[in-house]
Amino acid sequence: MPKGRIYFVGAGPGDPGLVTLKGIEALKQADVVIYDFLANERLLGYAKEGVEAVYAGKKGRFKHISQERINSLIVRHAKQGKTVVRLKGGDPFIFGRGAEEALAAVRNGIPFEVIPGVTSAVAAPAYAGIPLTHRDFASSVTFLTGQENPEKDEPSIEWDKLSQGEGTLVILMGWKNLKAIVQRLLDGGRPPETPVAMIRWGTLPKQKCITGRLDNIVEVAEKEAMLPPVITVVGDIVGLREDLNWFETKPLFGRRILVTRTSEQAGAFTEILAGYGADPIAVPTIRTVPPADWKELDMAVRRISRYDWAIFTSINGVRYFFDRVYELGHDLRILKGVKICAIGPATARAVKERGINVDLVPGEYRAEAVITALGKRRIRGRRFLLPRALKAREVLPEEIKRCGGKIDVVTAYRTVKPRRESARIRELLESGGVDVVTFTSSSTVRNFAAIFKKGELKELLRGVRVACIGPITAATAREKGLCVDIMPERYTIPALAEAIADHFGSHRDG
């Protein structure tokens, strides 16, 4: 059996956006991913379908898998001819024991590569607004492990010499030995008033940073209940945090927001929310699947030349329609002479990505506005095709008929409930800590409400804001007994995210 290959990949400090492009490419090739406690699980989304994901995390003082077993695990999978990605938090070779794992590969004759990652030693201070060097404050920086016992007879770290310098000290894994580390620095001559910062969960929306001085940081840490994983920064440079604290001042910093749209579409929304500092959690309440029978859509495709207009009301409608066109052996030429109407810029963009220009995008992104816009181009006597979900509002087809047009409404896809998310949604709400639930269609509202018994939602959503993309979705939410707190003026995903950010920006205390 041919030997596999091992990639030691730095997962970065926590923010999944800080992984390298080369790291992503390795994940795409992996047959097995063995990942750490500090490696963001969202990175597993880059791996191919069917990948074997193995958790081998070590969590401070808690029971964990031994390093020897991890080495054996990596080697065993590679010997089976698999491509193995060892996904390690931060950088594999910065206090990550990556060298020990790589040596295990060498001893077994297994080829390997090391893909560096952004170390938390640099990233966590940066996200806390603490540059590690500055020509007026610090011209050097030293990275240290805090796991070495400062009380042993001959420590490897020369704390007395480090204490006499003026450079920045960055201490990883120092929570357990904080009191002893502080005492060694004081004994070595570091002034008691030296600024100190401790950063927990750096680069993530749950990041927490406390500051103090060498002579009181232990007490401050105890008072603030700081626990690992923690990065400790010692030096005058810490004083710049007051001016450079960019991450924790974002409008949605630390806000946990549930995104209920489909898995395929949740990504763009969560990225925008994360850009505002939020902690978005994708909990899709709908999933799109093909229609039970393609007969209706296939007939419309074969007769496409009969239509004057094709109207698309969603990205899903675009995707399923054009995929079916290609599956039937046609290409874009089949649409010659057919004008295209798209509701909303995202739907229009999806059409344009297929290589087709859009003739009409109504100024308001709902069915009623389509009638007004089409009326100026004449509806009477025209034939319209509307490929959409199995269940949808009837306003558009009814109004076209009323205006003298003919319309064929065909099922391009169906929406169903993803069963496994129900328990997760309930658990998140019951545990508290959710700030906003977002809805981007009436289907997401109905499926969300169906998870709970009558009367449950009012209590579970106490203190939780409800954000809806537009008036139709908001009306459905109110029908289900929900109080709608946030709705944008423009019915788009970016506008919804902005409206949520504006809401919390004007409600700082809530």
Q: Is 299 a catalytic residue?
A: no
Q: For tokens 């995202």, what's the residue?
A: 346
3-state secondary structure (DSSP) of residue 121: helix
Q: Return the beta strands (E) in 78-200 as ranges.
A: 83-88, 112-115, 141-145, 168-172, 195-200
Cα(first)–Cα(last) distance of the chain, in Å?
61
Q: How far apart are CA 414 and CA 432, in angstroms?
A: 32
Instruction: Write b or e for each residue in 343-376: b if 16 or more Cβ atoms lie within 10 A of its Cβ, otherwise e.
Output: bbbbbbebbeebebebebbbebbbbebbbeebee
Rounded CA separation 39/395 (Å): 48
Report the C-alpha gap between 482 and 460 in whole angstroms: 11
**Active-site residue 173, yes or no?**
yes
- Mapping DSSP onto H, E and C, the string for 422-451 reads HHHHHHHHHHCCCCEEEECCHHHHHHHHCC
- Encoding tokens for residue 359? 């003739």
Q: What secondary structure letter does DSSP report for 484?
A: P
Tokens read off for 235: 């030096």
Do 203 and 120 contact (CB within 8 A), yes or no? yes
For residue 205, give every residue at least 6 positions away whose Cβ sits within 8 Å of its Cβ, in sequence order, or none: 253, 254, 255, 256, 274, 277, 278, 279
Per annotation, catalytic residue among 31, 36, 91, 279: 36
What the block records as the tokens of 261 is 């749209």
Of 3, 22, 58, 176, which one is the catalytic site residue?
58
Contact 197, 241 (CB under 8 A): yes
User: Would you call 241 exposed, middle or buried from its count of C-beta atoms within 10 A (0-12, 13-18, 19+)?
Assistant: buried
Q: By C-alpha distance, which of 201, 148, 137 is closest to 171?
A: 148
Of 31, 173, 250, 487, the catalytic one is 173
Residue 32 bridge partners (DSSP):
52, 84
Cβ(74)–Cβ(103) below 8 Å: no
Q: What single-letter amino acid sits at 156?
A: S
Provide the 8-state DSSP code for 90: B
C-alpha–C-alpha distance, residues 360 and 343, integer Å? 8
**Residue 233 falls in which region: left (phi positive, over 0), alpha (psi -120 to 50) or beta:** beta
Whether residue 36 lies in the annotated active site: yes
**CA–CA separation, 104 and 114 (whole Å):** 14
Q: Which residues are catalytic?
A: 36, 58, 173
